[in-house]
Amino acid sequence: MILRDNTEWRTLALIAMCYGLWLIVLLWLSWSVPWLAGLLLIPLLTLHSSLQHECLHGHPFTKRWLNDLIVAPPIGLLIPYLRFKDVHLQHHQNASICDPYDDPESWYVSQDFWVRLPRMIKIVFQANNTLVGRMVLGPAISLVRLAISDGRAILAGDRRVQMAWVLHGVLGTGVLYLVANWSGFGIIAYLVCCYCGMSVLMIRTYLEHQAEESYGGRSVIIEDKGPLSLLFLNNNLHAVHHAYPAVAWHQLPSLYQRHRERFIAMNKGYGFRSYGEILRRFAFHRKEPVAYPLTPKKPQ
């Protein structure tokens, strides 16, 4: 059986729908109603990133190379899929989620790094710890951090990182060719939509983890059932996803509802009712300090 189980047609159908709508927006709507095309393109790029996340966790096929193949086209352009895959799986395998030394997806910085930062950079990092700041600044900070870390790896001869970027460059050139020659978007306009799509994704990643002594209390539960939960493929139930990373996106809500009290106890009540609540509370207010407040695991 090629599909992982008989419910995986949902993921496959969603992937087909995502690419189909992307082509419609790109090849037709961008010529006729460009402003509407841009507005529709942004959530489609966010959804594609969520589908990449689903596939790197082993869905919908039993073959990993097939899962990688169907989401490898970088229609969002900014992040190489294979780098996203490696970094995210490392994030799941680490026992030290949030630790700036040990978790490649941590938004915290070490105390030593923080005290050395110039005042203006500290202001930028503090603004990035508000929700609006994360949406505006977060994509740029993520891209700079990835460029620095991957640049060092490439210079050190890491062939896996090198090949991930080579493949991304080849496939990304194909996407840009399609944009430049077959769509009503200019390349700059398309790149702006890519940045905005990543900005929407920042709503999910903004507070999905917190510094907490207990491992179980580090991942959030957001009981949202609106359009953002669909766009993020129910990854708002993040503590459930970390407890059961192989469970498909469409099975997470029922799993959570069956064991709701256990999950809430496990993550020590770190949760919110909706993304609306998060917007009201943290749009312009920092939820956490930038510097990691716990004792980090020092690098070897």
pTM of the model: 0.94
Q: How confident is the model at residue 221 (pLDDT cuts 50, 70, 90)?
A: very high
209, 204, 242, 245: which is closest to 226 by C-alpha?
204
> How far is Cα 105 from Cα 95, in angstroms, rounded to an integer?
13
Residue 267 lies in a domain: no
> How far is Cα 21 from Cα 28, in angstroms, rounded to an integer?
10
Q: Report residue 202 CA to chain centroid gap.
A: 7
Residue 22 lies in a domain: yes
Which tokens hold the place of 95?
A: 């026992």
> How far is Cα 65 from Cα 126, in angstroms, rounded to an integer?
40
Residue 30 lies in a domain: yes
Kindly state the helix (H) or strand (E) to which residue 222 belongs, with its residue range: strand 221-222
Residue 232 lies in a domain: no
> How far is Cα 180 from Cα 186, in angstroms, rounded to an integer?
6
Lowest mean pLDDT across 50-64, 93-107, 143-157, 190-204: 93-107
Q: How confident is the model at residue 21 (pLDDT cuts 50, 70, 90)?
A: very high
> How far is Cα 67 from Cα 60, in angstroms, rounded to an integer?
7
What is the number of alpha carbons within 13 Å of residue 232 lying toward its C-beta?
27
Own/partner pairs for 20-27, CB < 8 Å, 24+ apart? 22/48, 22/75, 26/178, 26/179, 26/182, 26/183, 26/185, 27/182, 27/183
Structure confidence by residue, pLDDT tens digits, 135-187: 999 999 999 999 999 999 999 999 999 999 999 999 999 999 999 999 999 99
Q: What is the mean pLDDT of residues 251-280?
A: 96
Structure confidence by residue, pLDDT tens digits, 25-50: 999 999 999 999 999 999 999 999 99
> Please, are residues 4 and 59 in contact by the beta-carbon 8 Å criterion?
yes
242, 246, 222, 265: which is closest to 98 by C-alpha?
242
Residue 282 lies in a domain: no
What secondary structure, in 3-state letters, does 62-86 show? CCHHHHHHHHCCCCCCCCCHHHHHH
Residue 41 lies in a domain: yes
Residue 288 lies in a domain: no
Residue range(s) defining the domain that contains residue 28? 9-206
To the nearest whole number, what is the mean pLDDT of the chain? 94
Per-residue confidence (pLDDT) for residue 297, from 0 to 100: 64
Residue 66 lies in a domain: yes
Looking at the structure of the chain, the number of domains it has is: 1
